[in-house]
């Protein structure tokens, strides 16, 4: 399970995720390999404060949970928090 809410500098913020899957150039079908996950931390007004990301290689099968953990860890590192929170 990845973070949905986080306390940062005494305020509560929401963490949101977006997933982008790789599509076939020819058929437009979603491929099982490759993809990108973005993690955003937003304040109550909807302003994004920081973004973390993860990329899945075309050699690997896309894993949404792992992508969220990596993106969340990078997001937390950017804002100076313990990246172990991404594993909770």
- Provide the residue ranges of all domains of the chain, joining segments of one domain with +: 5-87
14, 40, 49, 53 from 46: Cα distances, Å: 9, 10, 9, 19
pLDDT value, residue 21: 93
Using CA atoms in the order 23, 57, 51, 17, what is the torsion angle rounded to 10 degrees?
50
**Among candidates 6, 80, 87, 86, which has minimal Cα distance to 43?**
6
pLDDT value, residue 55: 94
pLDDT value, residue 79: 82
Q: Are strands 48-61 and 30-42 parallel, antiparallel or unpaired?
A: antiparallel
Mean per-residue pLDDT pooled into runs of 10, the chain (88 residues): 69 86 93 93 79 93 91 87 65
pTM, entire model? 0.81
CB 54 within 8 A of CB 67: yes
């Amino acid at each position: 399970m990845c973070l949905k809410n986080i306390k940062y500098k005494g305020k509560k913020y929401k963490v949101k995720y977006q997933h982008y899957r790789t599509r076939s150039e020819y058929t437009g079908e979603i491929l099982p390999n490759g993809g990108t996950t973005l993690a955003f931390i937003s304040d109550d007004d909807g302003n994004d404060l920081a973004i973390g990301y993860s990329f899945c290689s075309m050699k690997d099968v896309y894993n949404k949970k792992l992508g969220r953990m990596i993106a969340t860890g990078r997001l937390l590192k950017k804002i100076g928090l313990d990246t172990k929170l991404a594993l909770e």
